[in-house]
Amino acid sequence: MRIFAAMLKNDLILRAARGEKTERTPIWLMRQAGRILPEYRAVRNSLSGFKELVETPERAAEVTIQPVDILGVDAAIIFSDILVIPEAMGLTYEMVEKKGPHFPKTVQSKADIKALKIADPSDLSYVYEAIKITKTELNGRVPLIGFAGAPWTIFSYMIEGGGSKTFSKARRLLYSDTELADQLLNMITESTIGYLKKQVESGADMLQIFDSWAGVLPSEHYSRFSLKYISRICDAINDVPITVFAKGAWWALPEMKDINCHTVGLDWNMNPEEARSLFPNKTLQGNLDPCALYGSLDTIKSETQKMLHAFGDHPHIANLGHGVYPDTDPEKVKYFIECVKELSSH
Ligand code: CP3
């Protein structure tokens, strides 16, 4: 029975991440767990809310596996949030229904940083437990992706206290107090390295670093305050393939050539043809506009065809150019996944 399960194992995404040719293009979706699935909402509504779900390993494992069963994706991504790292460092977050994350306390001064610590990997044992349970329950069906936020994106949340239109408080610090900025970025980086290593030890087969707010920085600051720290994380992890997704930072792609990662995530503003020539030795991930899934089935099919054509025979992991939007019809998501499978088979 065990041998049979091992033979069935779908490792397409791992092979694609290593640059190997695959019989078809693997597909998963950023933010596939939660958001769009009524089955997810039913689990979440049976608890006090998002945070209890993240912190209850059996239930987190259950919603991690839902998109594998319901949507047919080629990988699961562990159900958690990038904001568990600031919390483990000492800055608690709240998830406000329909509004998003909120930090009651933020970092504004050296004294605020003194009150924080580098996360102790044991602080996030609920995530590692959820990974172990998920791996057992997946039983080799598809690989499991672990993840963390990039230091710059986590820094932004810790300074701003939530989302922002301009991120002016976080960006201001990069001009007004470089030392403080680097001190906090260093602490986040160290915390993240320990956290990702533990995810791998617990069973994560590959990792993704989400730099969701990359696009708000001028390019010089992006290299200096974001890529530098991402690079340090990639250098520290050697056991599994890593994907770096820098949303909005198309101008930083040339500099990402030297980063020690296997896959570069592209958003829908980035041009796959240009990326192919920039990254002859890296796999590319992406990048259908999430809004394409509001189109008709015919539109979804033709847009998927165009996307696959743009990546050509370059090692490719299909995905959207950012997370799936919460009001997307799950049937359209399923159809997109079927189209990738069908149109890329050879
Ligand atoms: O499917 C998956 O990708 C796994 C789970 C996952 C969540 N958050 C669950 C979640 C992942 C990978 C994340 C990453 C994350 N969290 C990012 C990076 C990716 C991106 O979208 O750029 C960011 C910026 C966050 C911070 C965050 N968490 C925000 C802004 C919000 C509120 C709005 C929203 O729905 O995105 C969250 C909440 C959150 N994280 C939900 C889920 C399923 C929604 C909470 C709920 O309604 O149940």
pLDDT confidence bin for 1, thresholds 50/70/90: very low
Q: What is the mean pLDDT of the chain?
A: 95
**Rounded average pLDDT over 97-118:** 95
Nearest atom within ligand 1 for CA of residue 212: 22
The atom of ligand 1 lying closest to the CA of 77 is: 4
CB under 8 Å to 121, separation ≥6 — which residues?
194, 195, 197, 198
pLDDT of residue 6: 45
User: pLDDT tens across 220-256, in order?
Assistant: 999 999 999 999 999 999 999 999 999 999 999 999 9
Asked if the model's pLDDT at residue 199 lies above 90, the reply is yes
Tell me how far the alpha carbon of residue 148 lies from the centroid of ligand 1, in angstroms.
11
Q: 30: Cβ below 6 Å to ligand 1? A: yes
Q: Is the CB of 34 under 6 A from ligand 1?
A: yes
Residue 157 is among the residues annotated as catalytic for this protein:
yes
The per-residue pLDDT for 80 is: 98
- Answer whether residue 106 shows pLDDT above 60: yes
* Pair 133, 1: CB distance under 8 Å: no
Catalytic: 35?
Answer: yes
pLDDT at 182 over 70: yes
Q: What is the mean pLDDT of residues 110-121?
A: 95
Atom of ligand 1 at shortest range from CA of 44? 48
Residue 207: the pLDDT is 98
What does the pLDDT look like over 119-174, one tens digit per residue? Answer: 998 899 999 999 999 999 999 999 999 999 999 999 999 999 999 999 999 999 99
Distance CA 129, CA 60 (A): 10
Q: Is the CB of 47 under 6 A from ligand 1?
A: no
Q: What is the mean pLDDT of residues 200-225?
A: 97
pLDDT over 90 percentage in the chain: 95
How many angstroms separate the Cα of 46 from the Cα of each of 40, 43, 59? 10, 5, 10
Task: List, in order of start, the domains of the chain with CATH numbers.
Answer: 12-344 (3.20.20.210)
Q: Whose CA is nearest to atom 22 of ligand 1?
A: 212
Annotation marks residue 44 as catalytic: yes
